[in-house]
Chain A
Amino acid sequence: MTTLGRLQQRFQSAILAGDRTPGLFIDEENDRRNGVAIYQQAYRARLAGALRDNYPVVHRSMGDEAFAALADAYIAASPSHFRSIRWFGDTLADFLAGSPAHLPHPALADLARMDWALRGAFDAADAPVLTSAEVGRLRAEQWPTQRFTPLPSLRLVELAWRIEPIWKALDEDPDAQTTAPVFDPHWLLVWRPGLDCLWRSADADEAKALQTLQQGASFAECCAQIADSAASDPAATAIDYLRRWLADGLLAKAQR
């Protein structure tokens, strides 16, 4: 370890720990001339700002004060390893789920999952959307091996609580009055067919079917997966899903 390396470790520790006298700077003894606090404050403010940007609805739901306390705790537990601050906060939902002190209601972790999925879809890779007309032109012999690929922006999010109405109300109005969500395990689909993100709720069977497509399965394999699920009429279910995915603009045109 070089002298410079040790110096940087000491400065970094001082910023992280809030220690104002790491023994590195002139004027450390003079409170008014001690600039370490400026770095300490700027560090926390910058990361807390990134969390607010990435979790706008969690922020609105908790309010400034509780969100600031959450941000402090998260920053201390999960400092950034990212080159770009855009990714900071990637584990906030799990952190929330594991820290009851910051969790007035367990559904808050689901709100965080929804915020993060939307943030991820926002600047995910683009792809042209597959249309019903294009699927209509497929020949019969193409169907057994046909693959339908979801858009690269598609996020499948498992939720325990029915939080979508709360998310929507707070997204539209920061001061919206909301009631506690009901426990209702299901999935959330988030995708971006153009510039704007879309989302809707889904049941586990549909989410699993999409998951198999994301993993590269053919439509025939996807149908087999649907048949293994509880669907009473697997063939009709598979066709329903496909129609809906096309209407949603959730599948990508095949790559040439």
Chain B
Amino acid sequence: MSNPISGFGLGLRSSHYHDFLLAPRGVDWLEIISENYLVDGGKPWHFLERIRRDYPMVMHGVSLSIGGTDPLDQTYLRQLKALQQRLEPAWLSDHLCWTGTDSLNLHDLLPLPYTEATLRHVVPRIAAVQDLLGRPLVLENVSSYVAYRADEMSEWEFVRELIHRSGCEWLLDVNNVYVSGINHGFDPRSYIEAIPAAAVRQIHLAGHETHPDYLIDTHDQPICPAVWALYGETLRRLGPTPTMIERDDHIPPLAELIAELDLAREQSQAIFAECRHAA
């Protein structure tokens, strides 16, 4: 793999293009939304190419629809592959979800029913994508607000089995585990404990909105204390893991996000100093 990633990253958003050209301290790598660069030129590519010179990058997609029942979109996959060749990301991720059916795209990350039939459907699709891209696909757990009557297993049992059968890797979104845990009444720690540590490439942290009956994954505010605590437990289990903060709405000045990222770095340093001390 071209650029091994370590440390603490942020999502590249256009409002921070000019800030990143100055290569500020405190950001080790960047994650881009692949779809934002499936265009021919102009400002997106102008800034991406310049910023890429200073930062290792990973690609994160939102419309692979790996769990969808329409055939995989070959045009989209070819575009992703071309982007991968041009950008040489350390890895490429999308979500364990479906985004639409009958050729529509709802532009959302919709949960799958956790069944044996779904596993049999998704595993060969992951294999097809991995063959085409020539590397393991990294998948991320999504937040969800519904649970299917058809479910035969918990989400974490499903994810474990999916990783085992497909050889895919994992992007563990700690906020999404927490949000879904509260929404569906499971203990987020059982989820984290069930994910095979060796498969986890990356961690996402983000903020969510609190409603009377639901938490909603909005990426529009700072990370809440409960998610910080869960992040600590996750690190204790996984060891040092590349971590990034996602912010997609109410995007603050870059310095504010870097300060929040410093909290993740400090927490990680404290935990592993403690571990070394104990060892």
Contact = CB atoms under 8 A, between A and B. Distances in A.
Interface of A: 2-5, 7-9, 11-12, 15, 24-27, 32-33, 35-36, 38-39, 42-43, 46-47, 50, 79-86, 88, 121-126, 152-153, 192, 195
B108 interface: yes
A12 B107 CA distance: 12
Interface string B79-115: 1000000000000000000101111111110101101
A217 B68 CA distance: 45
Nearest to A82: B105
Interface in B125-150: 144-150
A46 B107 contact: yes
A83 B76 contact: yes
Interface in B8-59: 35-36, 38-46
Contacts of B103: 81
A47 B107 contact: yes
Interface of B: 35-36, 38-46, 63, 68-69, 73, 75-76, 79, 98, 100-108, 110, 112-113, 115, 117-118, 121, 144-150, 183, 212-214, 216
Contact of B35 (A24, A81, A83): A83
Given A39-B110, A124-B42, A152-B40, A83 B213 contact: no
B91 to A, nearest CB: 20
Contacts of A125: 40-41
A83 B73 contact: yes
A85 B248 CA distance: 15
A82 B260 CA distance: 34
A8 B40 contact: no
B51 to A, nearest CB: 15
B42 A126 contact: yes
A235 B190 CA distance: 80
Contact of A4 (B69, B144, B212): B69
B107 A43 contact: yes
Nearest to B103: A81
14 contacts: A2-B121, A8-B110, A36-B146, A43-B106, A43-B107, A46-B108, A47-B107, A80-B105, A83-B73, A86-B36, A126-B40, A126-B41, A153-B42, A195-B46
